[in-house]
Amino acid sequence: MSPQTLPAASATTSLTGAEIVLRALKEQGVDVIFGYPGGAVLPIYDAIFQQNAIRHILVRHEQAAVHAAEGYARSTGKVGCVLVTSGPGATNAVTGLVDALMDSIPIVCLTGQVATHLIGNDAFQEADTTGITRPATKHNYLVKDIRKLAETVHDAFYVARSGRPGPVVIDLPKDILVGKGPYTEAPKREHRSYRPQVEPDAGQIRKAVAMLKAAKRPVVYAGGGVINAGPEAAALLGKLVRMASLPCTNTLMGLGAFPASDPQFLGMLGMHGTYEANLAMHGCDVMFNIGARFDDRVTGRLNAFSPGSLKIHADIDPSSINKNVKVEVPVVGDAAAVLRAMIAAWDEEPAQQDREAIAAWWRQIDLWRGKKCLDYVQTGKIIKPQHAVKRLYELTKESGRETFISTEVGQHQMWAAQYFGFEKPNRWMTSGGLGTMGYGLPAAMGVQVAHPDALCIDIAGEASILMNIQEMATLAQYRLPVKVFILNNQYMGMVRQWQELLHGSRYSESYSEALPDFVKLAESFHGVGMRIEGADDLDRVIREMIAIDRPVIVDCAVDEKENVMPMIPSGAAHNEMLLASGQESGGGASVTDQGMGLV
């Protein structure tokens, strides 16, 4: 076999199982696999060695392989591919699989398995991978017949990318990989059983448009489903929002679906969302949710969530509709298809918007904006974390380079969401549903593989970054110039914040003791280490970091006691927000058809 190509194949050609897998991956458009070898998958690694069609990235931990594939998938819109061995290889991948499931990221994870005749015998490095991953995946397979191997791989990619995307596992016994069998091409026909509804029902679209047109206080609430539907969906969202003068807010996973700089953008919604976004949600009379699942971090206390509104929910996953919040108009369909249909139906709907009411609604929103809930004061040498993120955003924008941001999980994640403006979809990689510490570095690695000329930055905390710090070795091996920007406040910041607010400032096990010297740590991994001690050095170091064409860790010392505000306390409603010191919430807002005002 030529080292440049995979073997030619047809239904009558006999290939090894490992060759069949690689042939199917290539047919599915896979150009890179993130993985870690082990005994059960060595036949695949041997086949990888003998071809150059598909690149392999050697990670240092299987969890990181899945997060890297997530970053790759999230930034490209393609399916990410992972290869791990049996037993501990597969179980190490589970955290990443659950993360991808919660955030609807399309992943196909190939796991090795002991030979079929050993399954159930407690063989070396055996685990019940399909049993373990059943609740962690959208679907999984155990291949026991080599004649069905290629078909299974094709099926897995279809399931991963179709409908609501998600992770799929294919468990591959070693005897299947070394045996020989036929190759079958990807089917051109529709899937025999799984055919998600893409086009929305026309009657439901007419109801949704009529309800929105009749609204006096509308709001659009867009989530990660808009981004998963592709760049056209984000463009269509912008068109609908502007043509109808609608206020628009995004979830954490939806940031970038609507431009942050647009005057109709209210900012992020939810527990650490903006005052204006949350009060608009609380006080609206019609809510249009597209591609979001009414997550608890968005809704707050359910019985007080947007109590006076009629609700439209558009989602490709029918099981998400009426799951957490009852809605008046359910619309099942792909986000792009739904938005396209709504724009087309808008002009056909005879009713006209109440422009005076809409104008009054915008005046109320401007009053809420007047709170300037994200304002902070940067004085003296000690760096406010908000200021660090804002300057990082401004200086990356000044550089003119295409920039992708990933995060770990914690306070730094929320500050990144609040102060880094995203104008386009697919530029923001974060762990939303599962909240996985250790996500950001490998995710940035996957993005950098997909976009080698882009600026890829992981905004991190000093605690989270240590969860997958070993991936600095992967960056060095493949010369991936990922930048890690640590907001170092010496604490597990979000844990400390909750302990301060809810547990009488008893900081149990939240102080980050015995931290490494991050500068030396970066150098030990063949990268560049830099430290920022005071505000005067911030801009200079960020500019140097951007200019360096190598992996960089910047250890930025920030105010240890700063909290993420605004904040909706656990169990509270949207109009019961806590604001930063010196800002008064006014007890929320009272909004009726007769009048609007802060109370």
What does DSSP say about strands 596-598 and 589-591: parallel, antiparallel, or unpaired?
Answer: antiparallel
Residue 563 CA to residue 61 CA, distance in Å, equals 32
Which residue in 102, 268, 414, 494 is the catalytic one? Answer: 494
What does DSSP say about strands 329-332 and 310-315: parallel, antiparallel, or unpaired?
Answer: parallel
Cα distances from 395 to residues 267, 386, 546, in angstroms, run 21, 14, 9
Q: How many angstroms from the chain centroid is the CA of residue 419? A: 17
DSSP element (H, E) containing 276? helix 275-283
Active-site residue 477, yes or no? no
H helix runs in 319-370, sequence order: 335-348, 355-369
**CB under 8 Å to 53, separation ≥6 — which residues?**
4, 5, 6, 22, 26
Backbone angles phi, psi at 315, to 5 degrees: -155, 145
Please choose, from the candidates 392, 378, 376, the residue with its C-alpha nearest in 3D space to the C-alpha of residue 487. 392
Which residue in 78, 113, 126, 174 is the catalytic one? Answer: 174
Active-site residue 124, yes or no? yes
Which residue in 50, 125, 197, 583 is the catalytic one? Answer: 125
Q: How many angstroms from the chain centroid is the CA of residue 453? A: 21
Helix or strand or coil: residue 317?
A: coil
Please give the DSSP secondary-structure letter assigned to residue 384.
P
Residue 321 CA to residue 328 CA, distance in Å, equals 10
Backbone angles phi, psi at 324, to 5 degrees: -110, -35
Let me know: does 314 contact 341? Beta carbons within 8 Å: no
Let me know: does 486 contact 465? Beta carbons within 8 Å: yes
Which residue in 19, 34, 62, 311 is the catalytic one? Answer: 62
Q: Residue 39 corresponds to which tokens in the numbers above?
A: 């005994």
Please choose, from the candidates 529, 524, 501, 499, the residue with its C-alpha nearest in 3D space to the C-alpha of residue 511. 499
Residue 579 CA to residue 278 CA, distance in Å, equals 12
Residue 469 CA to residue 59 CA, distance in Å, equals 11
* CB burial readout 141-156, b (16+ within 10 A) else e: bbbeebeebbbbbbbb
Strands (E), 298-427: 310-315, 329-332, 403-407
- DSSP state letters, 9-62: --TT-EEEHHHHHHHHHHHTT--EEEE---GGGHHHHHHHHT-SSSEEEE-SSH
Q: How many CB atoms lie within 10 A of CB 304?
A: 15
Which residue in 1, 124, 243, 398 is the catalytic one? Answer: 124
Helix or strand or coil: residue 522?
A: helix
Q: Which residue has the tokens 């990235």?
A: 57
Q: CA 210, 211, 215 angle in degrees (round to 5)? A: 115
Active-site residue 125, yes or no? yes
Residues shown for the chain: 599
Active site residues: 62, 124-125, 174, 494
